[in-house]
Amino acid sequence: MFKKTIYFAAFFLLFFSLARAQVRVTSISWESSAPKAKNWTPFAPVTELKLGATRKTRDKLRAVFTVRNSSRAAMEGLVLRYALRLRLVKDGDAPENGVWGVPFRVEELRLAKVPAGESRQVRAIRFELNEQIKKLSGTGFWFDALKLEVMVEPRRGEELSGITQESVLAVTAATPATGNR
């Protein structure tokens, strides 16, 4: 009788550990679309954000992050949160002296369902960078990088490892006097 109880308990634990849905953020990439006549170019991957001499971005920027459900059960009603930060640098100072500011934008995205063993791509599109650029204008500070932090809202019984991911996008800005920063 004792052996049967042990086997049943082991089977029960194994079954529920495999069936428990666990969604993780596996990757983040950045994409940009530039204005072209009256339309926009298709979104293309970027590794750096280039600002013009006006220190504004004309391009549409978006982040694409991939979430993967590694379990044997579908996961529904997911909440994904992301935060955007700027690495601030004093004008004329070395980039290594920069500091990460507090998040200037925090958003929630909802994902209806991720089937078992599959991945889904989610796009974050609201960055409002030009508003931040305007706030920094004339302060003696600038930013040289943009950081996106993404998190899957944890649920009861889930592990915390793998539910967060971050990506940093370098920013270069041309200055009106010299043409580059």
**Position with higher pLDDT, 55 vs 134:** 134
In the chain, where are the structural domains located? 21-173
With bands split at pLDDT 50, 70 and 90, how would you rate the model's confidence at 67? Answer: very high
C-alpha–C-alpha distance, residues 76 and 81, integer Å: 16
Q: Count the residues in the chain.
A: 181
C-alpha–C-alpha distance, residues 118 and 133, integer Å: 38
Inter-residue long-range contacts of 129-134, CB under 8 Å, 24+ positions, other chains counted: 129/57, 129/61, 130/56, 130/57, 132/86, 132/104, 133/51, 133/55, 133/56, 133/57
Check residue 37 and give its pLDDT.
86
pLDDT single digits (tens) 143-179:
999 999 999 998 888 888 888 999 999 998 765 444 4
Of the CATH numbers 3.90.420.10, 1.10.340.30, 2.60.40.10, 3.90.1150.10, which one belongs to the domain with range 21-173?
Answer: 2.60.40.10
Check residue 19 and give its pLDDT.
46
Check residue 138 and give its pLDDT.
86
**Position with higher pLDDT, 179 vs 24:** 24
Check residue 18 and give its pLDDT.
46
pLDDT single digits (tens) 107-124:
999 999 999 999 999 999
Sheet containing strand 119-124, strands side by side? 44-46, 23-33, 60-69, 119-124
With bands split at pLDDT 50, 70 and 90, how would you rate the model's confidence at 181? Answer: very low
Neighbours of 89 (CB within 10 A): 19
